[in-house]
Amino acid sequence: MRGARSLATCWPVAETLWWEAAMEEPGLSGCPLSAKTASFQDAVRTLNTLQTNANYLEMVKRKRGDPQTQLEAMKLYLARSGLQVEDLDQLNIIHITGTKGKGSTCAFTERILRSYGLKTGFFSSPHLVQVRERIRINGQPISSELFTKHFWRLYHRLEETKDDSSCVSMPGYFRFLTLMAFHVFLQEKVDLAVLEVGIGGAYDCTNIIRKPVVCGITSLGIDHTGLLGDTMEKIAWQKGGIFKSGVPAFTVLQPDEPLAVLRDRAQQISCPLYLCPPLQALEEGGPPLTLGLEGEHQRSNAALALQVARCWLQQKGYQDAGELKASRPSLPGQLPLAPVFQPTPRMQQGLRHTEWPGRTQLLRRGPLTWYLDGAHTTSSMQACVRWFRQALHRCERPDSGSEVRVLLFNSTGDRDSAALLKLLQPCQFDYAIFCPNLAEMASTDNADQQNFTVTLDQVLLRCLAHQQHWSRLHEEQVSPDPWSTPGQEQDGPASLLLAPHPPHTHSASSLVFSCISHALQWITQGRDPLFQPPSPPRGLLAHPVADSGATVLQEAAAIHVLVTGSLHLVGGVLKLLEPSLSQ
């Protein structure tokens, strides 16, 4: 290595060749495999050919056309697949969008309604470990067999109906999975389908639905600016595109300007839009609600999920939908408030049993505690840091020995990684580790995590840029900790301050690894009882920072590892730490 802030391992030529070979693997294009003989991995590899090549993606961004034509194209794909838009009305859809928390809100909503004995479908993105996670029945990813059957049925149907005059015979990756979800849910005869918007709302391919039962919008923030716009108002306009005439919609409290945009969008098409009261209002007069997902920010998601689920139950004629409490009047010129009601025992059960991996998730393994959260916007990162610091404040301190804090980070797309890293700085990490969202270097059998929308050079340079940002933050004069609250005692219940954490001589150390597996091998030092990979490659520890840090990690009484910045990174870590998720 060339110094403390260089690659901990080199990217061998073989790795570059593997990446290029994956792009051109024979058998994935041209004549498709037989549905009877093809395996689940064959289906996933063929699905991956529908990803947009990185170079073509850049060209498309520069020559963006009318986005409305994308929705029309999706309707044509739906027709070619054997369905009409009207057929989707049977799915009794709940449509959810937002910038942060939309997946968690969908998970809460699905689990609440499943507690009523309903058969649920749930379409979400992205997946963490296996692509079949995106399509769930009764909270469980569809089986490999069911995925394979529906994949080839849809793939062959689209092949048979392609127009020779058209240059595009197949929908892209996300469109294909959206179409497949519709077919699966109809074939499996679900009572309802919860649909999470992919990006935005107005022009997202899930928005071909015409009659959802209810819609919801979670907290808004700045994300996907290249597609949605660079202001909250522009993003709110996109998100409000899922509103439908006469279909009830709910949103959580938003800043005034984007909330006004949502209100205007709803009024223009006669969509009844309601503002959710805080969860505290629903708890008054009863016991506090227990949530299956950690973090204070999940209370806002749960409040929205309760309103959406209750509205769905009412629309479908269910009587047990929660007793109304005294209503609170809306202020003039503001959105009407959604009803304040007493959550039913089944609603409480649903909230309590909600699971949503990769979001404020804790794994305790020997001396290691893993904190997993796919936060990737400034607002969601603020919530992640608050959760992480609260969790650290609650955990027991070891009787003897040192504690080590490690950050494992990556960020992709057009996100401001420097801003995200600045928010993480007050956590007082001993080590910051950066790596691409690539679980292992020899991933020839790992089709679920292949990504052709970026090149190897791009992801490596991005990690180096993250490391440089982190280094500059430590070289600058650090401003007072924005997370501490003046006047609070450190041991006070509302304090987010960390327990005493004496500085180490290596407190600003950072390393870049070539894949997640190598990063985890260094972090765990063989001390995670379930993560026991083969011997690390030669040269993995051939650097002073890696070598000295290994000794510190081997001797630490407790190691706290925050994995954040990208859901894909979290998914790669979970794949390695929880092998059962790949089965």
pLDDT by residue, tens only, the chain of 583 residues: 333 333 333 332 222 222 222 323 333 344 455 555 579 999 999 999 998 655 555 555 555 567 888 899 999 999 999 999 999 999 999 999 999 999 999 999 999 999 999 999 999 999 999 999 999 999 999 999 999 999 999 999 999 998 765 556 899 999 999 999 999 999 999 999 999 999 999 999 999 999 999 999 999 987 776 778 879 999 999 999 999 999 999 999 999 999 999 999 999 999 999 999 999 999 998 889 999 999 999 999 999 999 999 999 999 999 888 888 866 666 656 899 999 999 999 999 999 999 999 999 999 999 999 999 999 989 899 999 999 999 999 888 888 889 999 999 999 887 899 999 999 999 999 999 999 999 987 655 566 656 666 677 888 899 999 999 999 998 874 555 554 444 333 333 332 333 344 444 334 689 999 999 999 999 999 999 999 887 666 666 567 788 889 999 999 999 999 999 999 999 999 999 998 888 7
**3-class SS at 8?**
coil
pLDDT of residue 182: 98
CA-CA distance, 70 to 21, in Å (whole number)? 31
CA-CA distance, 242 to 121, in Å (whole number)? 19
pLDDT of residue 464: 94
Nearest to 501 by CA among 558, 447, 550, 459: 558
> Binding site membership: which residues?
125, 196, 224, 359, 373
For 250, the token pair is: 């709910």
For 146, the token pair is: 């069911």
pLDDT of residue 223: 72
- Strand 214-217 and strand 341-342: the pairing is unpaired
pTM for this model (two decimals): 0.85
pLDDT of residue 91: 98
> Binding site membership for Mg(2+): which residues?
125, 196, 224
Q: Let me know: does 8 contact 546? Beta carbons within 8 Å.
A: yes
pLDDT of residue 18: 27
Specify which residues 219 forms β-bridges with: 100
Can you point out the beta strands (E) in 410-555?
A: 431-434, 509-512
How far lies 13's CA from each of 19, 34, 242, 318, 450, in Å?
A: 10, 35, 47, 62, 19
> Binding site membership for ATP: which residues?
359, 373
Residue 387 belongs to what H/E stretch? helix 378-394
Q: Let me know: does 409 contact 432? Beta carbons within 8 Å.
A: yes
Can you point out the beta strands (E) in 259-360?
A: 273-275, 323-324, 341-342
pLDDT of residue 327: 66
Q: How crowded is residue 402: how many other Cβ atoms within 10 Å of its Cβ?
A: 16
For 569, the token pair is: 């990174």
Q: Let me know: does 556 contact 499? Beta carbons within 8 Å.
A: no
The angle formed by the CA atoms of residues 445, 562 and 576, to the nearest 5 degrees, is 20
